[in-house]
Amino acid sequence: MSLYCAGSSYADGIIDYELFYEQAHQYMTASFVPDGFDCLRDSFLGPYRTEDNPLAVEQGRCFGSQEKGGNHCAVLSRAITLAPGESARLVWMLGEGGRQEAERIRQTYSDPAAVDAAKADLAAYWEDKLSRLQVQTPDADMNTMLNTWNLYQSEVNILFSRFASFIEVGGRTGLGYRDTAQDAMTIPHADPEHCRGRILQLMQGLTSTGYGLHLFDPAWFGPQPEKPAYKSPTVIPTPERASIVHGLEDACADDALWLVAAVAEYVRETGDLAFFDQVVGYADGGEGTVYEHLTRILDFSAEQVGAHGICKGLRADWNDCLNLGGGESAMVSFLHVWALGQFVDAARALGRTKDAGHYEAMRRAVADTCERELWDGSWYLRGITADGRKIGCQADTEGRVHLESNAWAVLSGAAAPERGRQAMDAVDRYLYTEYGLRLNAPSYTKPDDAIGFVTRVYPGVKENGSIFSHPNPWAWCAEAMLGRGSRAMKFYRALCPAAQNDKIEVRQSEPYSYCQFIMGPDHTAFGRARHPFMTGSGGWSYFAATRYLLGVRPQFGGLLIDPCIPADWPGFTVTRVWRGAVYKIEVQNPHRVEKGVASVRCNDQPVEGLIPPQPAGSINEVVAVLGAPAAAGEKEERGTMA
Give the N- to C-terminal CA distance of the chain in Å, as an integer.
46
For residues 71 and 45, the answer to whether their CB atoms sit within 8 Å is no
How many whole angstroms separate alpha carbon 46 and alpha carbon 316? 44
How many whole angstroms separate alpha carbon 260 and alpha carbon 436? 28
For residues 400 and 392, the answer to whether their CB atoms sit within 8 Å is yes
How many whole angstroms separate alpha carbon 435 and alpha carbon 256? 31
For residues 322 and 316, the answer to whether their CB atoms sit within 8 Å is yes
How many whole angstroms separate alpha carbon 173 and alpha carbon 161? 10
The verdict on whether 320 is a catalytic residue reads yes
Catalytic residue among 141, 272, 299, 320: 320
How many whole angstroms separate alpha carbon 13 and alpha carbon 350? 58
For residues 537 and 158, the answer to whether their CB atoms sit within 8 Å is no
Which H helix or E strand runs over 478?
Answer: helix 472-481
How many whole angstroms separate alpha carbon 518 and alpha carbon 583? 37
Dihedral sign for Cα 200, 202, 203, 205, please. positive
How many whole angstroms separate alpha carbon 336 and alpha carbon 297? 9
Strand partners, 281: 287
Closest CA to 256 of 283, 219, 276, 287: 283
Closest CA to 332 of 392, 412, 389, 264: 412
Q: Annotate 136-167 with b (16+ C-beta within 10 A) or e (fewer).
A: bbebebbbbbbbebbbbbbbebbeebbbebee
**Residue 85 phi/psi, 5° resolution?**
80, -5
List residues with catalytic annotation.
320
